Amino acid sequence: MYDIIVIGAGPAGMTAALYAKRAGKDVLLMEKEYPGGQIVNSPLVENYPALPGVSGADFAENLQKQVTELGVPFEYTEACSLEKKDDVFVINGEEKLSAKAIVLATGVFHRGLNLPREEELVGMGISYCAVCDGAFYRGRDAIVIGGGDTALQDAVYLSGLCRTVYLIHRREAFRASAVLVEKARQRENIVFKTPCVPKEYVTNAYGITGIVLENTKDGTQETLEADGIFLAVGLSPQNEFARSLVALTPEGYLEADENGFTSVPGLFAAGDCRAKKVRQLTTAVGDGAAAATAACDYLDQI
């Protein structure tokens, strides 16, 4: 039985573990994939105070090292369901784990466009991670789809590797930060395609060779040739395993306040999995600190 189990080892979860361990609690970090979460896909974090230009992977590695050196154990396993019985939380999965308090820091995962054959083309030209797969397209043409920070960041990163980067977005305006949009506009090899929606992937026996686009303003269609397509069309939460216990928004985010309190005593939420407006590295680590502090206060009172 742990004092606190933190589910999810992204920046929010690892920060929560750091704070809880430093407060003297017995903490376990549970992670179903790899430590770091989405930030490991970020080539350059330019807006984290006092650490300009750190890569997402380096940030995650340093945080993991800091948490590990404090003595927080990591358990690489998936939480399949969550129950609360007599003030004890039980996490069911490959093994059963129990704790007096839980911090949910499950993050978000990439959404697709749901075009035909999309799933089978991942790894055959379709990617969700420019940092991981960009080098495959060095000197070749690539497409980025989306208009948020991820898409603009990916386009700028890929423009340093690829011959041409087509940035496809369904609106003329971008939701990405103005700084990133301006940076992308200054790259001569980024070609903006707006307002355009992808209609179908073009393939040969080896995978992607391009995409069919429709301009939503004039209805014209064109086929763009490219070797790689990077999807950056947003993120979805992954909290279904906890649905029977805790309130979720219609989109599946955890209903929790800024201190991490959910509708269930002893169950806290931190980071991108929480219903909130701003999802940044800064807000993730802030959430982790707040939720861990609230969890420690809860433990001190029961």
The residues annotated as belonging to the active site are: 129, 132-133
The least CB distance from residue 156 to ligand NAP, in Å, is 10
The least CB distance from residue 294 to ligand NAP, in Å, is 23
Distance CA 208, CA 83 (A): 44
Q: Based on CB atoms, which residue is closest to ligand NAP, 181 or 246?
A: 181
Pairing of strands 228-231, 141-145: parallel
- Binding ligand NAP by CB under 6 A: which of 31, 149, 227, 287? 149
Q: Which residues pair with 74 in a beta bridge?
A: 29
Q: Based on CB atoms, which residue is closest to ligand NAP, 22 or 171?
A: 171
The least CB distance from residue 161 to ligand NAP, in Å, is 18
Rule CB under 6 A: which of 35-64 touch ligand NAP?
42, 47
Determine the interface stretch with ligand NAP among 81-89, 90-98, 155-163, 229-237 (rule: CB under 6 A): 229-237
Q: Based on CB atoms, which residue is closest to ligand NAP, 102 or 158?
A: 158
Q: Is 194 among the residues that bind ligand NAP (CB under 6 A)? A: no
Q: Based on CB atoms, which residue is closest to ligand NAP, 25 or 159?
A: 159
Q: Is 234 among the residues that bind ligand NAP (CB under 6 A)? A: yes
Radius of gyration (Cα) for the chain, nearest Å?
Answer: 21
The least CB distance from residue 42 to ligand NAP, in Å, is 6
Tell me the site size for ligand NAP, rule CB under 6 A.
Answer: 20
The least CB distance from residue 208 to ligand NAP, in Å, is 17
Q: Is 233 among the residues that bind ligand NAP (CB under 6 A)? A: yes
Distance CA 238, CA 48 (A): 25
- Binding ligand NAP by CB under 6 A: which of 12, 72, 101, 151? 151
Question: Which residues of the shown chain bind ligand NAP in the complex (CB under 6 A)?
Answer: 42, 47, 113, 146-151, 153, 170-171, 175, 197, 232-235, 279-280
